[in-house]
Amino acid sequence: MPTDTPTIVLVGHGMVGQRFLEALAARGLTATHRVVVLCEEPRPAYDRVQLTSYFSGTSPEELSMTDMEFIAEHGIELHVGDPAETVDRETRTVTARSGLRVEYDTLVLATGSYPFVPPVPGKDAAGCFVYRTIDDLLAIEEYAKARATVGAVVGGGLLGLEAAGALQGLGLSTHIVEFAPRLMPVQVDEGGGAALLRTIEEMGLSVHTGTGTQEIVVGADGAVTGMKLSDGSEVATDMVVFSAGVRPRDQLARDCGLSVGERGGIAVDEQCRTVTDPAVFAIGECALAADGRVYGLVAPGYEQAETVAATIAQDESAFLGADLSTKLKLLGVDVASFGDAHGAAEDCLEVVYSDARSGLYKKLVIARDGTLLGGILVGDAEAYGTLRAFTGSVPPVAPESLVLPAGSSGGAQLGPSALPDEAVICSCNNVTKGAIRGAVTEHACTTVPEVKKCTKAGTSCGSCVKVLGQLVTAELEASGVEVDKGLCGCFGQTREELYEIVLALRINTFRELLDRYGREGARGGDGCETCKPAVGSIIASLAPVIGASVYILDGEQAALQDSNDHFLANIQKNGSYSIVPRVPGGEITPEKLIVIGEVARDFGLYTKITGGQRIDLFGARVEQLPLIWARLVDAGFESGHAYGKALRTVKSCVGQTWCRYGVQDSVRMAIDLELRYRGLRSPHKLKSAVSGCARECAEAQSKDFGIIATSNGWNLYVGGNGGATPRHADLLAQDLDDTQLIRLIDRFLMFYIRTADRLERTSTWLERIPGGLDHVRDVVVEDSLGICEELESLMAAHVANYRDEWAETINDPEKLARFVSFVNAPDTPDPVVGFVPERDQIKPDLPLLSIGMRPMEGSVQR
């Protein structure tokens, strides 16, 4: 650029700083200005909101929010690991740690915040950490693995609970110390805090509320050995993580004479321009906004970034404050608050739903005229998006009906179509329903990816993508555009319609189905990667009825299966496979444990006990699978179907046999159910659990079908889900005897298999299917469609015809022939599969993957 090109210097490159750069580029300012970025951390902007996901396997690279092609394309000069150290406002010069001096026309401070560490003795000892950056997490992980078994977190707010979850995930016994009388005191009230406390304590964490940290106890070696609390108690711990809030990083501004607030924060006006110097702006957590607030959420920071970019471009823009509503998942628990969550308005009313047993707490704050003012949701925040959008207005249904569980008497559900156009769908990027509709009607977007690119909705945290899809479909249909709901390009029918065709006409091959009912042009072809496994699953689930082979790798069926099903095992990172024997109900004899140990030892496998009460064996080469399974089958084990879209496990507590709280024999029931539904192919994997009492130790309400014992029998819950989008299961029926329980589960599972879309979990299916839980209850309990007898007979056929796939495989030489790495070199092991030692076991030698998963020269790899 010419030397007289105006220069913008950005100090700080976090999430808000990156959004500012994107806003500059969107307005063409990167073409007319020199843009220099000084970043303190050794890596460019990354997703700090998702920071804790590092401990569940997300790499620092995957957390990155910086596209280096974007940086290069727009000529942005990015200096990482080189923070600004001084600002001379008279000469308009910034000097970095490296000595780099940059003259600016416009300076934007996005220095963020720093963790607050209470001034207690011992706070600087070895084993004390803060929880703010990727480097912090790396240090915590290293120390925890080397010398810690117990950890303590100072602070029970948002970051404190995330930190506690991270320590527990590292295998540490974990304590949480919160000075306030409840957890998350800013976001939730006393009732919400109590529900959150119960749930977290049931996870095995120790919580100390209403007490502060008085001293960090330090051992002779200078490392942490404990904590003294202000209530006189002591906590023995090897590690302390301070997460007691943050403070604006405004020292650079103070040093150069910019005005800051009494409690910190760089004072700015409505354009985010500092009140001291019109050439300097501040955005994000370092800025004290014109309304007197320092905003600690990313969405307001994004708005501030857009405001400054617009102001530089001489467009009218102002930051007038932001909604502090939040929806988070902390330690696996949904927590949300919105609007006037604490009922500060005069003469307001509260509607509260609380279920202590399930850890649910929902409160709405309502004005006398019915206007929804705000609310708090703990344990189930599914309605957050709808409720938040209606805040400030009178909802079209009674507010109290919105907090009742789905399917309960008096409960109501409002879909996205009920929202007004001004409702914000994507709070991260402030995208309204009207903007999404406009993307479809005015910009001809017909898919969710197109709408995301057009509006930025769903491109940050992703929590709104489901609603986004519903709105796009609804708008297309409203515009008269025919929405193709076919399974794929080969079939114009839905999965449910194909299921009915296969069942009614007893079609037992993919080829016949495609030739008779495929789209024009697809008939006579080979199908695609979408329809082949979907139809393969349908045929497998109906095999005994339609006359197909029960063994899924017979004939044509083998070509339809997902990759893992090809070898009846899960492929891992380095091309090796895992073996997961079924352990019904988690109950196993010492003899069988010994067999697993011997197999793992003899084949050099990595062993791990899973959360589903069974043992994974990792590191087997494909040619070793039959040898391993021969020994396991001989010892009485059978396939655990970890590789298939089928029943995985039925988890259980010890029940009344051992537990003093148990009221039913949960182990026996779990074993009966797992043996009944083993091998049942379905649209997606199925998980279940049986708890022997209301304490819910088996976590049955997070499963596709969960059973909780009562003094009168069993309560059946359906549609639960863990994973990335957890959902509490809904109560389908209660106080059932054994026969009634199994009959309803039979019906529920077969109705799900019959009507769900491909790869649709029961949780998503239950929310999508018209009528939701009420309809499912009418069908499977009341038999409103008159199909229950058929559903039961379909399940009975499955149970009667089940055969263990591995038992059949190891006794059939023809089937065994597939278990080789190279077709024309069957005795040659795959040279890519390698391991290195770790903690007395093995792990994949991942650097070996850089040579590529390619076959040996002159050979054909399976």
Tell me how far apart the alpha carbons of residues 716 and 721 are, in angstroms, rounded to a whole number: 15
Q: Which of 333, 349, 104, 315 is nearest to 198 (CA)?
A: 333
What are the C-alpha distances in Å from 463 to residues 174, 214, 428, 458? 29, 39, 10, 7
Would you state the structure tokens that stand for residue 554, as one six-digit string? 């017979």
Starting at the edge strand found earlier in the chain, the sheet holding 173-178 runs: 128-130, 239-242, 150-154, 173-178, 206-209
Phi, psi of 654 (to 5 degrees): -85, -15
SS3 323: coil
Crossing angle of the two packed helices 590-603 and 625-634, in degrees rounded to 10: 160
Tell me how far apart the alpha carbons of residues 24 and 298 are, in angstroms, rounded to a whole number: 18
461 is in an annotated binding site: no
Q: Which of 660, 642, 499, 520 is nearest to 572 (CA)?
A: 642
What are the C-alpha distances in Å from 744 to residues 700, 738, 769? 16, 10, 18
In degrees, rounded to 5, the angle at the alpha carbon of residue 239 between the alpha carbons of residues 238 and 243 is 155
Tell me how far apart the alpha carbons of residues 207 and 200 are, in angstroms, rounded to a whole number: 8
Tell me how far apart the alpha carbons of residues 561 and 636 are, in angstroms, rounded to a whole number: 26
653 is in an annotated binding site: yes
256 is in an annotated binding site: no
Q: Which long-range contacts (CB under 8 A, 24 or more apart) does 833-840 make?
A: 833/574, 833/575, 833/576, 833/621, 834/574, 835/574, 835/576, 835/604, 835/619
What are the C-alpha distances in Å from 780 to residues 406, 556, 773? 17, 34, 10
Dihedral sign of CA atoms 207, 211, 212, 215 in order = negative
Tell me how far apart the alpha carbons of residues 655 and 672 are, in angstroms, rounded to a whole number: 14
Contact in structure between 465 and 497 (CB atoms under 8 Å): no
Q: Where are the alpha helices (DSSP H) in 103-223?
A: 134-147, 158-169, 190-202
Contact in structure between 698 and 685 (CB atoms under 8 Å): no
Tell me how far apart the alpha carbons of residues 131 and 139 are, in angstroms, rounded to a whole number: 10
- Virtual CA dihedral for 545, 550, 553, 557, nearest 10 degrees? 0
Contact in structure between 351 and 377 (CB atoms under 8 Å): no
Tell me how far apart the alpha carbons of residues 363 and 343 are, in angstroms, rounded to a whole number: 10
In eight-state DSSP terms, residue 856 is: P
In eight-state DSSP terms, residue 639 is: B
Would you state the structure tokens that stand for residue 728, as one six-digit string? 């509490």
Contact in structure between 331 and 200 (CB atoms under 8 Å): yes
Strand 213-218, strand 101-103: pairing? unpaired
* Segment holding 128, helix H or strand E: strand 128-130
What are the C-alpha distances in Å from 620 to residues 516, 538, 567? 42, 30, 12
128 is in an annotated binding site: no
* Segment holding 469, helix H or strand E: helix 465-478
| Residue 623: alpha-carbon gap to chain centroid | 35
* Segment holding 396, helix H or strand E: none
Would you state the structure tokens that stand for residue 428, as one six-digit string? 């991260």
Numbered residues of the known binding site = 653, 659, 693, 697
Binding residues for siroheme are 697
Binding residue numbers for [4Fe-4S] cluster: 653, 659, 693, 697
